[in-house]
Amino acid sequence: MNLRHDIKRILREETNKDLTLVIEMLLEGFVNDHKDILCKVEVKHPDKRTKLPHSDNVYENYRVTFYLIGGYGSDNWPATQSVRRMFDDLMNEAWDLIYNYTGQKLDMFTKHVNSCGDIIQENKDSSIPNMIKTLGITDAIKYFGNYYTIEPYLKVVDKVNFIKEKVIELSDDDYYGIRLAEIDEDPLHYSDEDGEEHQIEELGLTSVDISVYEDEYSGYLRDYYVKYESLPVQIIEELVEILLNH
């Protein structure tokens, strides 16, 4: 009853006649009722449908793509006459459902998959990058509850941005960043050159401060700066690992 009430309300309030949401709501329940053979549907408004090059054709009907369990290796493979009839009956039922509620005719298409697990992975592969883009890395980690869930989808520039975000978050000063010692972390080894020890001791807002010593334990010589974007990928990875703990 709540679904019907929501649909009637949307139909009353709809001013631009975009019924995409209504059709999606109706078909969401339809998918749940047929999840043994139907994984999901995708609905496109007529104005958002892809037009053929050099074609003046204007689409009038909503496009609905049905993801059916019928790919190679599935229980519904090969597509026998009874399987095809089952799919036809399913789509006819969906067509009648939408037409009876909205008066809209549908252009219907199918894609066949081995299982709904294929769709879940496909959705995951697209949704995680979108969430990273929308939320930023810090909030995306909180949303998914684990850095390593999103790590495969991160580019180096994303990790650099995460380091900068964390430095700003941890810093008491808007200009100088933080020293690793302030967050109870040891200096990070950067390189050995000509017997000299180079190590990262301070994280600035845009670069790291690298201190140079005669050896690992004594003889301070000088400092220099390297922008985050210019750091080796391995160092960027290590900095991310350090900052994840704070």
Is the pLDDT assigned to residue 122 strictly greater than 90? no
Query: What torsion do the CA atoms of 169, 143, 237, 190 make, to the nearest 10 degrees?
Result: 10
Is the pLDDT assigned to residue 222 strictly greater than 80? yes
Residues 6 or more apart from 46 whose CB is under 8 A from it? 58, 59, 60, 61, 62, 63
- List pLDDT tens digits, range 136-179: 788 788 777 788 888 888 889 999 999 998 999 888 766 788 99
Q: What percentage of the chain carries pLDDT values higher than 70?
A: 84
Q: Across residues 196-203, what is the average pLDDT?
A: 93
How many CA atoms within 13 Å lie on the side-chain side of 129? 9
| Phi/psi at 233 (5° precision) | -60, -40
- List pLDDT tens digits, range 44-81: 999 888 876 777 778 889 999 998 988 777 777 777 88
Mean pLDDT, all residues of the chain: 84
pLDDT class for 1, splitting at 50, 70, 90?
very low
Is the pLDDT assigned to residue 208 strictly greater than 60? yes
Are 86 and 110 spatial neighbours (Cβ–Cβ below 8 Å)? no
Q: Hey, what are 116's tokens?
A: 């709904």
Compare 121 and 228 and report the one with higher pLDDT.
228
Q: Which residues pair with 107 in a beta bridge?
A: 63
Is the pLDDT assigned to residue 223 strictly greater than 80? yes
Distances (CA, A) of 205 to 17, 208, 224, 231: 49, 8, 15, 14
Are 73 and 118 spatial neighbours (Cβ–Cβ below 8 Å)? no
